[in-house]
Chain A
Amino acid sequence: MSDLALAAILLVPLAAAALLAALPDDRTTAWLNVAASFITFCAALTLLAAARPATGHFLIVDDLNIVFIVLSTFVAFTTSVFSRSYIGHELESGRLSSVYLRFYHAMYQTLMFAMNLALLANNLGLMWVAVELATLTTVLMVGIYRTEAALEAAWKYFLLGSVGIALALFGTILVYLAARAVVGEGLDAMAWSVLVQQAGGFDPALLNLAFLFLLLGYGTKVGLVPLHAWLPDAHAEGPTPISAVLSGLLLNVALFAILRFKSVMSANPGALAPGPLMVSLGLASVVFAAFMLYRRQDIKRLFAYSSIEHMGIITFAFGMGGPLANFAGLLHMVLHSLTKSAIFFCVGHIAQVKGTQRMPDIRGLTVSHPVLGWGLVLGVVAIAGLPPLGLFMTEFLIVTSTFARQPLLAIVLGVSLLIALGALLARLNGLAFGDAHGPSAPSRASFLPVGAHFALVLVAGIWLPPALVAWFQYVARLLS
């Protein structure tokens, strides 16, 4: 049963990718895309419900990754629904030809496969390959519009991403070397399940070096400052569903990898604590992104920078460690990907109805497009960490638990959150309020995905199911 589900999670996207690459017609492919994503999501749910499959040399299902699998399959599903209406508009406006559309759908499913593989991998090398694959597919999708800006963004993403991936590979090799001395040669020396137990005996010097490379390597994917440069442009120039997937899922996957290695690190007494490194990188990202928000003209780039900010917050939280901060970090990861992808859904429709991504040309949305406008307001309110939405809880926990231990860090974090809020609000005033101008044709978008995401975030802000909490706390303890 669970093995079947496991297989489905990996094979359904793969098969769908092949099928979509082959099929010519646009309408059905969009639906097929949705259907495939939905099946994957169901498989993930059954995996959650059913007993854990046995841990193999290559695949593993444990407490840490199951939530990310469910989350990413869910967001992938909602995004595919959004992508349907989005792509329809793109075809009409002629920005995409049906050839590229086939390519797009195939790549979408490939990306899903790659991410699920990265999450499920029990083998360092396998995970590395999966992340590499995910990078390449997203590179291709970012470049899909083939405008100069898009190509440049893709090129930048590709170069930086590959350098990052190269560093990560070196780190992986070092980890293997460290493990080999204890575990012995062979696949075991690259399996998470083994590493975490044996980590105590590894050579700390080697581990330190390895973690440094892994942090920088996968950190490039996470978009931590100063490795973030690819992120804003990739978000701004690619199709909006891809922006949503990038912010909502791919960043999480990379961060997930770092978490895996962090747990190995912290299992080794001799190794340097990964905390300070992550804290400083995270804080740098938050501060930097907060200021970068102010001068943005492009609405998608704006929220891309806000993604950098939130990845910084999460990294900071995990760096601080402790049950509270880890719990908050995990919750923040989940809620952020829900919120941010919902925001990108809204933004995609807004850009389509207004025919531009330049914020100065978008005004008074709550007047011209009430649903989209208020959706955006809700999104900004959520992402700014205001109640009743969930991110307030996590930011509350992070700041309070930090202030008791590191007052200075907490103040820096809080103030930069405030600065970021200032920037987002200033933008929101222009976008959502005041007199409307520009085209005011009603958008034929389906608001189901947006509604679903915001509903989840809202509920999470008010009430978390005890089972989820207990499980989160368990993982939090696992991480520290």
Chain B
Amino acid sequence: MLAALLGCVALLLVASVGAIALADRRLATTAIYGVALTASVAGLLLALAALLAPAPVPATLALPIGLPWLGAHFRLDALSAFFLVVANLGGAAASLYGLGYGRHEEAPARVLPFFPAFLAAMNLVLVADDAFSFLFSWEFMSLTSWALVMAHHRRSGNAAAGYLYLLMASFGTLALILAFGLLAGWSGAYDFAAIRTASPSALMGAAVLALALAGAGSKAGVVPLHVWLPLAHPAAPSHVSALMSGVMTKVAVYGFVRITFDLVGAPLWWWGALVALTGGITAVMGVLHALMEHDLKRLLAYHTVENIGIIFIGLGLALAFSANEMPAAAALALTAALFHVFNHSVFKSLLFFGAGAVLTATGERDMERLGGLIHRMPRTAFLFLVGSAAISALPPFNGFVSEWLTFQAILLSPALPQWLLKFLVPAIGALLALSAALAAACFVKAFGVTFLGRARSQVAREARETDRCSLGAMFTLAALCLVAGVLPAWFIDALAPVAQALTGSHLPERHGLDWLTIVPIAQSRSSYNGLLLFVLIAFAAALAAAAIHRFASGRLRRAPAWDCGFPDPSPATQYTAGSFSQPIRRVFGTVVFRAREEVEMPAPGATQSARLHVQLRDVLWDTLYVPAARAVALAADHLNAVQFLTIRAYLTLVFGALVALLAVLAIWQ
């Protein structure tokens, strides 16, 4: 099975080489995405088979490549299988979408060679079983995605985005290299099997955790290492944005889980506190940034940051619980995190596809120039609505289930012995609730301003519904959102082997009686049944509709909007994205963004319009990154003088070095 999976990877790599050969031919797009689709679907099926196998025994395989004396080790266990499902599902959807979307691509020769390679790299990371192959695939993944980000290198800002991205990615890789340097020791025992057996000291474990958090976190977009994400993800073609946001960040999460839960050994309780707190802050910062954003794709990218935060909250709780030997609770938290991994990859891909459809239809990413698209592209609008509802954690969709599970895990925190955790976790719960509510607000804004209301520009007025392939991809994902929300029990049972492997326990399997109810701990404690809710709501809605149809008058008249008596035909009078987020900006922005608003009122009698200036500052960027860049620039400037010395000065350097070393030698002897 593992061999077959590697076969899919090889197929993808061949495809990317073939793409170079095909260059700009007409059939290239269809051929490459077709191959990618087949390979991903095959990989998906294989991974599913591995995950749902009755007795999942890890399959291993070693190839004579990579580090010579070590070879490349590959391993397929429950964890890898689950993430492979996520990755290949996203890959398949993106390829299907690309079949249609790719036709509008202006420079296919800059996308096609790297797209399959990107998929292949992500698959390789998930099956790698030694430090070298892992980091090799990891950095290769960064490199290929960087190339995809640079596909539209002429558009302003994209080159800078790519630059920041590859730099941050390499920073992450460096951190991971150091982490593995610690784990492997200087004898170079790089394969995971050897690392598992070694038991690191507490200090070393802490260092590894910090490095893993920095390394995997920078790729996943954990605050404050997230700065590249909202720039790079939107810069790529939309289906690649979907892959980067929906899948690559999950691969990063996999890296974190693999190191902290599997390789480094028993965790300490404060690891959980650190990770969960980071997650909470990440979630709120991400969603607040998203609320301030008018660029549809960048808004989605910031929401990726938020959801990564939610996932890390779950992981942190899992660490805390398993550090205190509470396997059941740890399993709950971990399951919540992993289920959210799956859910987010589904609805985030869906949303990016929708954004891509809007982009191809209008050529606009700026919401302030969109609006009323629900009339022009109803299908896309509906599917995007489903995605919005799912990401806003509204029942009966899947986003709610995983966040509900996370809450259930948080509610178990009082059982934790450490007082810090006792006090911290409720606060994190508040952060989680806050971010969930803000996410809902943000997607009311995103959907409302983009699709509802009246068109704000000519392009929006003339938008056309997108093509079949794209709609097909979106529909599949939307259906998954509903299914995973209504029948979560199936998915959670599929996660049981992963939780079992990593925490030594898993959620209670569903028992036939209470129709697919999910029960985190005990029936009396809490339970949720998406199916029943769905049925009840459908029943109630149908009942209402029937009653209305039966008793109420069916008359309906179209008329101009009332609008308190003075409607204004100009679409400029609508609420814009900026004005929608103004109350929240007032409430939170003043602290987080040092937001300042100035209104220029024209002098009495002057005819020009009043102007509102909103000024937001990214405090993290100003406090962390700007100084670092300044320091490097300063050092570069000062050292640069050395390039312009006279030969005599250079000779003096040599002479100085000689004399200094001689003096050292004289003293040393």
A and B touch in the complex (CB under 8 A): yes
Binding site for B on A (CB under 8 A): 155-156, 159-160, 163-164, 167, 205, 208-209, 212, 216, 220, 226-227, 229-230, 232, 272, 277, 288, 291-292, 294-295, 322, 324, 366, 381, 384, 386-388, 392-393, 396-397, 399-405, 407, 410-411, 414-415, 417-419, 421-423, 425-426, 429, 433-435, 462-464, 466, 469, 473
Q: Pick the contact of A414: B142, B177, B639 (CB < 8 A).
A: B177
Cα distance A373–B544 in the bound complex, in angstroms: 66
B 537-596 contacts with A by CB, 8 A: none
Residues on the A chain within 8 Å of B632, using CB = 291, 294, 419, 422
Asked whether B419 is an interface residue with its Cβ less than 8 Å from the other chain, the reply is: no
Contact of A292 with B131 in the complex, beta carbons under 8 Å: no
Residues on the A chain within 8 Å of B143, using CB = 381, 386-387
Interface of B is mostly: helix
User: Of residues B132, B139, B184, B650, which shows the largest number of chain A Cβ atoms within 10 Å of its Cβ?
Assistant: B650
Q: Pick the contact of A418: B160, B171, B669 (CB < 8 A).
A: B171
User: Of residues B153, B632, B642, B654, which shows the largest number of chain A Cβ atoms within 10 Å of its Cβ?
Assistant: B654
Cα distance A227–B650 in the bound complex, in angstroms: 8
Q: Pick the contact of B188: A163, A229, A324 (CB < 8 A).
A: A324
Cα distance A229–B639 in the bound complex, in angstroms: 13
Residues on the B chain within 8 Å of A473, using CB = 69
Tell which of B248-256, B285-293, B656-664 binds the partner.
Answer: B656-664
Instruction: Write the B178-217 contact mask toward A (1 if CB under 8 angstroms, else 0).
Output: 1011101110101000000000000000000000000000
Instruction: Write the B632-669 contact mask toward A (1 if CB under 8 angstroms, else 0).
Output: 11011101101101010011011011100110010011
Given contacts A422-B167, A429-B163, A433-B159, contact A405 B653 (CB under 8 A): no
Cα distance A59–B650 in the bound complex, in angstroms: 35
Q: Pick the contact of B132: A288, A396, A426 (CB < 8 A).
A: A396
Cα distance A407–B140 in the bound complex, in angstroms: 25
Residues on the A chain within 8 Å of B639, using CB = 288, 291-292
Given contacts A381-B143, A417-B174, contact A401 B186 (CB under 8 A): yes
How far does the Cβ of A433 sit from chain B's closest Cβ, in whole Å?
A: 4
Asked whether B512 is an interface residue with its Cβ less than 8 Å from the other chain, the reply is: no
How far does the Cβ of B150 sit from chain A's closest Cβ, in whole Å?
A: 6
Given contacts A387-B140, A401-B186, A401-B188, contact A294 B633 (CB under 8 A): yes
Tell which of B60-68, B83-91, B324-332, B486-494 binds the partner.
Answer: B60-68
Asked whether B525 is an interface residue with its Cβ less than 8 Å from the other chain, the reply is: no
Asked whether B457 is an interface residue with its Cβ less than 8 Å from the other chain, the reply is: no
Cα distance A291–B637 in the bound complex, in angstroms: 9
Residues on the A chain within 8 Å of B185, using CB = 404
A157 nearest in chain B by CB position: B647
Cα distance A405–B184 in the bound complex, in angstroms: 12
Given contacts A209-B665, A386-B143, contact A229 B163 (CB under 8 A): no
How far does the Cβ of A320 sit from chain B's closest Cβ, in whole Å?
A: 9
How far does the Cβ of A165 sit from chain B's closest Cβ, in whole Å?
A: 12
Q: Given known contacts A404-B186, A422-B632, A434-B154, what 9 new A-B pairs fall within 8 Å (CB)?
A: A156-B650, A164-B654, A167-B658, A208-B669, A226-B653, A226-B654, A392-B139, A400-B178, A418-B167
How far does the Cβ of A203 sit from chain B's closest Cβ, in whole Å?
A: 12
Asked whether B308 is an interface residue with its Cβ less than 8 Å from the other chain, the reply is: no
Contact of B643 with A292 in the complex, beta carbons under 8 Å: yes
Interface of A is mostly: helix
Cα distance A415–B162 in the bound complex, in angstroms: 20
Cα distance A295–B642 in the bound complex, in angstroms: 11
Q: Pick the contact of A295: B153, B637, B662 (CB < 8 A).
A: B637
| Top 6 closest pairs, chain A to chain B, by CB | A403-B181, A404-B186, A400-B181, A229-B650, A294-B636, A469-B68
Cα distance A205–B142 in the bound complex, in angstroms: 51
Asked whether B135 is an interface residue with its Cβ less than 8 Å from the other chain, the reply is: yes
Contact of B180 with A400 in the complex, beta carbons under 8 Å: yes
Asked whether B166 is an interface residue with its Cβ less than 8 Å from the other chain, the reply is: yes
Asked whether B534 is an interface residue with its Cβ less than 8 Å from the other chain, the reply is: no
Asked whether B30 is an interface residue with its Cβ less than 8 Å from the other chain, the reply is: no
Contact of A229 with B181 in the complex, beta carbons under 8 Å: no
Contact of B636 with A291 in the complex, beta carbons under 8 Å: yes
B638 nearest in chain A by CB position: A291
Asked whether B404 is an interface residue with its Cβ less than 8 Å from the other chain, the reply is: no
Residues on the A chain within 8 Å of B67, using CB = 393
How far does the Cβ of A423 sit from chain B's closest Cβ, in whole Å?
A: 8
Cα distance A405–B635 in the bound complex, in angstroms: 28
Place the interface of chain B in its size category. 35 or more
Cα distance A272–B643 in the bound complex, in angstroms: 33
Contact of A159 with B181 in the complex, beta carbons under 8 Å: no
How far does the Cβ of A62 sit from chain B's closest Cβ, in whole Å?
A: 22
Asked whether B527 is an interface residue with its Cβ less than 8 Å from the other chain, the reply is: no
How far does the Cβ of A392 sit from chain B's closest Cβ, in whole Å?
A: 7
Cα distance A159–B185 in the bound complex, in angstroms: 45
Cα distance A475–B162 in the bound complex, in angstroms: 41
Cα distance A21–B188 in the bound complex, in angstroms: 53
Cα distance A235–B143 in the bound complex, in angstroms: 29
Q: Pick the contact of B177: A396, A405, A464 (CB < 8 A).
A: A396
Asked whether B170 is an interface residue with its Cβ less than 8 Å from the other chain, the reply is: yes
Contact of B68 with A399 in the complex, beta carbons under 8 Å: no
Given contacts A387-B143, A410-B181, contact A397 B188 (CB under 8 A): yes
How far does the Cβ of A462 sit from chain B's closest Cβ, in whole Å?
A: 5
How far does the Cβ of B259 sit from chain A's closest Cβ, in whole Å?
A: 15
How far does the Cβ of A326 sit from chain B's closest Cβ, in whole Å?
A: 12
Residues on the B chain within 8 Å of A422, using CB = 167, 632
Asked whether B136 is an interface residue with its Cβ less than 8 Å from the other chain, the reply is: yes
Contact of A292 with B642 in the complex, beta carbons under 8 Å: yes
Residues on the B chain within 8 Å of A463, using CB = 64-66
Contact of A324 with B159 in the complex, beta carbons under 8 Å: no
Q: Pick the contact of A160: B154, B186, B640, B650 (CB < 8 A).
A: B650
How far does the Cβ of B258 sit from chain A's closest Cβ, in whole Å?
A: 17
Contact of B163 with A426 in the complex, beta carbons under 8 Å: yes
What are 10 inter-chain pairs, A to B, with CB distance below 8 A? A226-B656, A288-B642, A291-B636, A292-B640, A387-B139, A387-B143, A396-B136, A402-B181, A462-B66, A466-B64
B639 nearest in chain A by CB position: A291
How far does the Cβ of B162 sit from chain A's closest Cβ, in whole Å?
A: 7
Cα distance A227–B653 in the bound complex, in angstroms: 7
Q: Pick the contact of A387: B136, B182, B653 (CB < 8 A).
A: B136
Cα distance A220–B653 in the bound complex, in angstroms: 11
Q: Pick the contact of B139: A155, A386, A415 (CB < 8 A).
A: A386
Contact of B665 with A212 in the complex, beta carbons under 8 Å: yes
Contact of B651 with A160 in the complex, beta carbons under 8 Å: yes
A320 nearest in chain B by CB position: B186
Residues on the B chain within 8 Å of A405, using CB = 186
Given contacts A292-B639, A387-B143, A403-B182, contact A414 B665 (CB under 8 A): no
User: Of residues B160, B639, B669, which shows the largest number of chain A Cβ atoms within 10 Å of its Cβ?
Assistant: B639
Q: Pick the contact of B647: A159, A216, A419 (CB < 8 A).
A: A159
A469 nearest in chain B by CB position: B68
How far does the Cβ of B631 sit from chain A's closest Cβ, in whole Å?
A: 10
Residues on the B chain within 8 Å of A425, using CB = 163, 166-167
Cα distance A442–B71 in the bound complex, in angstroms: 43
Q: Pick the contact of A464: B68, B643, B645 (CB < 8 A).
A: B68
Cα distance A209–B651 in the bound complex, in angstroms: 20
Given contacts A156-B647, A388-B140, A404-B182, contact A418 B177 (CB under 8 A): no
Residues on the A chain within 8 Å of B188, using CB = 324, 397, 400-401
Contact of A205 with B669 in the complex, beta carbons under 8 Å: yes
Residues on the B chain within 8 Å of A226, using CB = 653-654, 656-657
Contact of B66 with A272 in the complex, beta carbons under 8 Å: no
Contact of A227 with B654 in the complex, beta carbons under 8 Å: yes
Residues on the B chain within 8 Å of A403, using CB = 177-178, 181-182, 186
How far does the Cβ of B274 sit from chain A's closest Cβ, in whole Å?
A: 20
B 16-40 contacts with A by CB, 8 A: none
A428 nearest in chain B by CB position: B163
Contact of B669 with A429 in the complex, beta carbons under 8 Å: no
Residues on the B chain within 8 Å of A163, using CB = 651, 654
A370 nearest in chain B by CB position: B109
Residues on the A chain within 8 Å of B186, using CB = 322, 324, 400-405
A468 nearest in chain B by CB position: B68
